[in-house]
Amino acid sequence: MRIRKKYRKVLIYVLLLNILVLLFLVYYKFVSSIPDEIKIMVDTEENFDFNIPMEANIETEEVGAISVNDLKVPSNQIKINLNEPFRLTSSRKGKYSVNLKLFGLINFKNISLDVIEASELIPCGNPIGIYVETDGILVLGSGRITGEDGLNYEPITNKLKSGDYILAINNTPVLRKKDLINEIQNCNGKDITLLIRRNEEKITVRVTPVRTASGSYKIGAWIRDNTQGIGTLTFISPDGQFGALGHGITDIDTGLLMEVKAGTIYGAEIMSIIKGKEGEPGELIGMIRQSDKYKLGSITNNTYQGIFGKIIGLNEINNNRIISSEPLEMGLKQEVERGKATIRCTIEENVEDYEIEIESVDISNSNHSKGMVIRITDQRLLDLTGGIVQGMSGSPIIQNNKIIGAVTHVFIQDSTKGYGTFIENMVNNLE
């Protein structure tokens, strides 16, 4: 009898566990199916099919501004059944709140409905050289110092951390590594006070420099104040703003998004190609034309969706052969379809379009830089690069004659495949 009771308890526990797992999977399916934000364009019909047992209430003070399934709803609270396909249209720009209810009863999630003007972007695909200066001196890590007495010291242990930004030393602002090094040398071994920024909070720490056998003073911090590299220009807006990369510039040592004070994009030339293969991502090797003649624009923002800024002048851009096509309408994420598309990039001398397949689409925005899984199908590109390689990040993705996204990452184990971000995620960062 006791053994039977134990078996019953075990079976009950297993059953409860299975129920909990099932509920979690259902919850995850709902969460991954629904974005935090939906955009539609003024006077443009947008189709949606979430196929989930929920009701949505769209709250608006502008009665009659939104149409559902071609019918204007004369109410400030519009109900939509998300278990069936529906169409949305709005005659006015604005932001609206959408409240989701599971089975029409349980409050589940609030999402933002943003009605915007239809816009066009110039898709580029040109290689660019990127140079950025950090907003403060970035701390990469710490190391041991051998003092003139032969002993090892670690002056910044438990005081500075990887990812900190040094802003000032002894109340003197420092903008460059050499400024910080000079100030440390001038302290003559006395304690120094460092003003640092850590996770947007400013704090002060006191550090004692160590005198080495050569007579110089050190604090044992690995630091950086700038970085540079090659990427791809994604688009230029009609008012002269640009977006590039599709993902942020992260520090190679800390892996953190770099806080940028200033930066510049330059024209660049692809010199050679390292083909990608299983386990080893390839790379475009380029030369940055880092002179005023080839300066294309100024970087104002480094975000998780890419770098953004202002073009120095459309005439200069035309002279540098950056604009090679007419503007295209921006495609919203709900318009993206699985199937054929193209990416635009420069592998040899000219900007070319190459065929790809969009294998999956995730409009939930759970990861802003990984909304699409794409696969290179164009044999020309496969022969040249083996697929997606470093330096192609930012290549615009075009489908149905609309710019819908940009290439962001490559699959390490399969260079023919990678991720793309939706273009609306990038446009959100324009000023």
**What is the tens place of the pLDDT at every residue in 312-323?**
865 555 555 555
Instruction: Give yes or no for residue 2 having a pLDDT over 70.
Output: no
Domain range 144-219, CATH class: mainly beta
Instruction: Give yes or no for residue 356 having a pLDDT over 70.
Output: yes
User: Picking from 52-61, 209-218, 362-371, which range would have the lowest pLDDT averaged per residue?
Assistant: 52-61
Instruction: Give yes or no for residue 119 having a pLDDT over 90.
Output: no
Per-residue pLDDT band for 105 (boundaries 50, 70, 90) equals low
Identical fold, 120-131+226-427 and 144-219:
no
More confident residue, 411 or 11: 411
Structure confidence at residue 365 (pLDDT): 64
Region 348-376 average pLDDT: 88
Per-residue pLDDT band for 197 (boundaries 50, 70, 90) equals very high
Structure confidence at residue 76 (pLDDT): 56
DSSP one-letter string for 266-334: EEEEEEEEE--BTTB--EEEEEE--SGGGEEEEEEEEETTEEEEEES-HHHHHHTT---S--EEEPPGG
Paired residues of 306 in beta bridges? 303
Structure confidence at residue 71 (pLDDT): 64
pLDDT in tens, 198-229: 988 999 999 999 999 888 999 999 999 998 99
Report the chain's mean pLDDT, rounded to a whole number: 85
Region 162-178 average pLDDT: 91
Structure confidence at residue 359 (pLDDT): 96
DSSP state of 378: -
Structure confidence at residue 299 (pLDDT): 95
Per-residue pLDDT band for 338 (boundaries 50, 70, 90) equals very high
pTM, full prediction: 0.84
Structure confidence at residue 51 (pLDDT): 77
Burial class (CB in 10 A: 0-12, 13-18, 19+), 228: middle
Structure confidence at residue 17 (pLDDT): 80
Burial class (CB in 10 A: 0-12, 13-18, 19+), 419: buried
More confident residue, 65 or 16: 16
Instruction: Give yes or no for residue 175 having a pLDDT over 60.
Output: yes
More confident residue, 9 or 231: 231
Percent of all residues in the chain with a pLDDT value above 70, rounded to a whole number: 86
* Three-state DSSP class for residue 178: helix
Q: Which amino acids are annotated catalytic?
A: 247, 378, 393
Instruction: Give yes or no for residue 61 having a pLDDT over 70.
Output: no
Percent of all residues in the chain with a pLDDT value above 90, rounded to a whole number: 43
Instruction: Give yes or no for residue 301 having a pLDDT over 80.
Output: yes
Structure confidence at residue 345 (pLDDT): 94
Instruction: Give yes or no for residue 267 having a pLDDT over 80.
Output: yes
Structure confidence at residue 92 (pLDDT): 78
Q: Under a CB-based contact definition with an 8 Å cutoff, are residues 62 and 94 in contact?
A: yes
More confident residue, 52 or 255: 255
Instruction: Give yes or no for residue 68 having a pLDDT over 80.
Output: no
Length of the chain equals 431
pLDDT in tens, 18-43: 787 776 666 666 666 677 788 888 87
Per-residue pLDDT band for 47 (boundaries 50, 70, 90) equals confident
Structure confidence at residue 265 (pLDDT): 94
Per-residue pLDDT band for 386 (boundaries 50, 70, 90) equals very high
Domain 120-131+226-427, what architecture? Answer: Beta Barrel (2.40)
Structure confidence at residue 263 (pLDDT): 93
Sign of CA dihedral 115, 118, 123, 128: negative
Structure confidence at residue 70 (pLDDT): 67
More confident residue, 325 or 233: 233
> If we measure between CA atoms, which residue out of 264, 229, 261, 262 comes closest to residue 247?
229
Region 299-312 average pLDDT: 93
More confident residue, 430 or 340: 340
Paired residues of 194 in beta bridges? 169, 205
Instruction: Give yes or no for residue 351 having a pLDDT over 80.
Output: yes
Structure confidence at residue 139 (pLDDT): 92
Per-residue pLDDT band for 57 (boundaries 50, 70, 90) equals confident
Domain boundaries, the chain: 39-116, 120-131+226-427, 144-219
Structure confidence at residue 64 (pLDDT): 59
Element containing residue 346 per DSSP (H, E): strand 339-346
